[in-house]
Structure 1
Amino acid sequence: MKTKLFLAAIICATTSTKVLGQHSGNYNSTGNSGSTYSNQNIQTIPTSYSDENEMTITIKGIYNEKATYQRAVFSILQIGKTAEETNKLMDERINNTITRLKNLGNEIDVVIDFISFIPSYDYEVQKKIFNPKTYNEKPSGFELKKNLIVKFKNTNDLNKIISICSQEEIYDLAKVDYITTNIDQIRNILHEKVLQEYKRLLAEYSFIMNVDLSKKKKKIIDASNTIYPMESYKSYSAYSQAAINFSQNSQVNNIKKNNTQFYDGAMLKTHSFVINPEITEPAIQLFYDLTIKIKLNEDHLPKNTIQVNNKYYIITPTGTIKALIL
């Protein structure tokens, strides 16, 4: 009975190890990252340090924000023999698309952005008495370009929008913008969270060092940034290669590996905290860093000391000013 339990434990342990490996994803396979699973010596990232003269505290925060709405931009090209025909064909495609998009709900808003309308030319040969051949440009057709801008709130609606546009041969999705209307409120929340973290650390370090750091002179350096999802995508090549030769004369033909992209937003690893870490869809990420330099050893000068042009003077009880030699 003990033997059966022992074997069952081994099987469970082996199964668990395989499951963990599968959750890594293809990006971490040997062909892409050049590494295999092994125990690592983790190096910590210092956020506070000091010497006998100065102490530095750095606090970094992230706020993950879902887009209030998104804006997809589709590029449309229409070619026709005449200007009238070109405009008519373009209008038909756009009007049919807008009608179908409106059926998705009131949250869908569509705007048409005109880009260009130019003729295309061929050359015709005209015979003249004094000049045997003269080549002149002659309009052979027209090229009309417009952008279809679709505003929507639900991320999953983009698949439906692409499907509707493709029915009118609108395939070129130029970009997708992520917009938030809460940017000022988010920054205030992020700044307040950083300030709370600073107060907590200042109290802890004051207790550890047995010094009231709140009364020391300080210098402040802060920085902020906003990263949108389109800036956080990474690309990699799918890794798959045969490792077996069935005979010495067999030949292995390696197929072209597929290039793909995935969203890779900033993580908590190099930051003090992150707000809304549970968001799984591509998010707008706001960053705020605060660095405080605290002067530990201050210059101790006599009372009533005046500093002028890097020279020190002392006022005597009788009101006389004398230079202080240091």
Structure 2
Amino acid sequence: MSNLQSLTMIRPNNLLALLLAAIICGCGYPLRAQQLGNAHYALTQNQQYTSATAFTPVMAQAQSGNSIELRVSGLSLVKADRYVAVFNLQQVAETASLVHSLMETRIAGLLHGLKDLAIEDEAVHIDLICLVPKYEFDVQQKVFSKSYNEVPVGFEMQQNLSIPFDNPAMLPQILALAAEQEIYDLVKVDYILDDPAKAKAELRKACIASWKEQEALHGEMGIRLDTLDRRFGDQFQVVVPQERYQTYTAYAQPNLAVANRKATVQRAEHSSTRFFHAISYKDYDVVLHPELTIPTVAITYNLVVRYQFPNPPAPIRHVEVQREFMLISPDGELSTLPLKP
């Protein structure tokens, strides 16, 4: 039996499987997976065209007028030198002394555990938020009415603990130690830069180098910008990771086979969470440290230099001067003397 005859006897489904296997295994090209992520996939389901199919290239435009502006935008991703985790503690008890004692016991237990992570007591800052009484309503029954009176039944104390640490990997350990003392409310995590001026200076230097390249490019085009009057302005902006977290709800597509039936469909609850959405590099001319994959402090810098061309000289107006001579006779008569060229 020939190879062609043997292929014609294979069922269509099996033939498709064999063809796919031949493409995957027989070709000499490596396989590459493309990662998109559910967050972007869910956002594009209701759009007629996704960002990939609706891509439009950016067209360059020449500047017009009597001035030229050169702009440079820079982005620097800076890893934090230190971190500070802020926890909130709440304690309720019948008396003020008891609520204070219970709070101190929980804090002392957490501080004892933090010593194993080389975090000393002096480094932890305790901030007292409030100590307020708690009230309930006492109902007094009268002959024709009832009265509700507020009576104190206990006290509530709130404190914030600021715990510094150097390595992001320490945060899960700190959370576990806090949970042992029934401390569950992690308010926020601050990212600290010891020398932000150094990071800004590095970014400014790189952007100025990019500006000089643009100025040299204009020189190659025959436009000498270094001979023109110039004005410049610049602006820094610091974006901390807390500002870049976005809400995300798990994406799931319903089963069409079940949806077509005449039955009540109970949809599963989709959990909502948050994810770190890093700043895109596409809008920046200079990007420093893009290899960092952890949440970082983003510093942006914008530089603009405006070159002013000199005003063109005013056109020369030629004015023709006409001369004539007048003669006054002794009798007082006025006459014009003819001029010979």
SS in 2 for 1:103: helix
How much has 1:118 moved relative to structure 2?
A: 1.2
Task: Name the residue aligned to 1:307.
Answer: none
**TM superposition score normalised by structure 2:** 0.76
Q: 1:103 aligned to 116, 122, 125, which one?
A: 116
Task: Name the residue aligned to 1:159.
Answer: 172
- Aligned-pair identity in percent equals 29
SS in 2 for 1:214: helix
How much has 1:37 moved relative to structure 2?
A: 7.8
User: Structure 1 CA distance, aligned partners of 2:63 and 2:84?
Assistant: 48
- 1:102-121 equivalence runs, <5 A: 102-106=115-119, 109-121=123-135
SS in 2 for 1:245: helix
Task: Name the residue aligned to 1:311.
Answer: none
Q: Does residue 1:223 correspond to 2:232, yes or no? A: no
User: Structure 1 CA distance, aligned partners of 2:67 and 2:288?
Assistant: 30
One-letter amino acid of the structure 2 residue matched with residue 26 of structure 1 = N
Pair 49,221 (structure 1): closer, same or farther in 2 beyond 3 Å: farther
How much has 1:68 moved relative to structure 2?
A: 0.9
How much has 1:44 moved relative to structure 2?
A: 2.4
What number of residue pairs does the alignment pair up? 292
Q: Does residue 1:264 correspond to 2:311, yes or no? A: no
SS in 1 for 2:55: coil
User: Structure 2 CA distance, aligned partners of 1:127 and 1:252?
Assistant: 52
One-letter amino acid of the structure 2 residue matched with residue 172 of structure 1 = D
One-letter amino acid of the structure 1 residue matched with residue 213 of structure 2 = R
Pair 106,125 (structure 1): closer, same or farther in 2 beyond 3 Å: closer
User: Structure 2 CA distance, aligned partners of 1:257 and 1:133?
Assistant: 47
User: Structure 1 CA distance, aligned partners of 2:302 and 2:30?
Assistant: 43
* Preserved CA contact (<8 Å) 1:97 1:164: yes
User: Structure 2 CA distance, aligned partners of 1:166 and 1:271?
Assistant: 43
- 1:202-281 equivalence runs, <5 A: 202-208=215-221, 210-246=222-258, 248-281=261-294
Q: Which one is further off, 198-207 or 243-252? A: 243-252
What residue ranges of structure 2 are gaps of 5+ in the alignment? Answer: 8-18, 316-341
User: Structure 2 CA distance, aligned partners of 1:300 and 1:154?
Assistant: 65
**TM superposition score normalised by structure 1:** 0.79
Q: Does residue 1:145 correspond to 2:163, yes or no? A: no
Task: Name the residue aligned to 1:64.
Answer: 77
Pair 173,161 (structure 1): closer, same or farther in 2 beyond 3 Å: same
Deviations 1:227-251 (A, max 9, x none): 0000011112211022232573343
Q: Does residue 1:292 correspond to 2:305, yes or no? A: yes
* Preserved CA contact (<8 Å) 1:32 1:239: no
User: Structure 1 CA distance, aligned partners of 2:235 and 2:59?
Assistant: 19
User: Structure 2 CA distance, aligned partners of 1:289 and 1:223?
Assistant: 5
CA RMSD in angstroms, aligned pairs only: 3.2
User: Structure 1 CA distance, aligned partners of 2:53 and 2:21?
Assistant: 26
Q: Which one is further off, 91-100 or 81-90? A: 81-90
How much has 1:255 moved relative to structure 2?
A: 1.8
How much has 1:189 moved relative to structure 2?
A: 1.1
Task: Name the residue aligned to 1:25.
Answer: 37
User: Structure 1 CA distance, aligned partners of 2:228 and 2:118?
Assistant: 59
Q: Does residue 1:53 correspond to 2:66, yes or no? A: yes
SS in 2 for 1:177: strand
Q: Does residue 1:34 correspond to 2:38, yes or no? A: no
One-letter amino acid of the structure 2 residue matched with residue 203 of structure 1 = A
User: Structure 2 CA distance, aligned partners of 1:75 and 1:68?
Assistant: 24
Task: Name the residue aligned to 1:312.
Answer: none
Pair 224,49 (structure 1): closer, same or farther in 2 beyond 3 Å: farther
User: Structure 2 CA distance, aligned partners of 1:288 and 1:37?
Assistant: 27
SS in 1 for 2:124: strand
How much has 1:45 moved relative to structure 2?
A: 7.4
One-letter amino acid of the structure 2 residue matched with residue 41 of structure 1 = F
One-letter amino acid of the structure 1 residue matched with residue 101 of structure 2 = K
- Based on CA coordinates, which of the two structures has the bigger radius of gyration? 2
* Preserved CA contact (<8 Å) 2:210 2:286: no
* Preserved CA contact (<8 Å) 2:119 2:165: no
Task: Name the residue aligned to 1:92.
Answer: 105
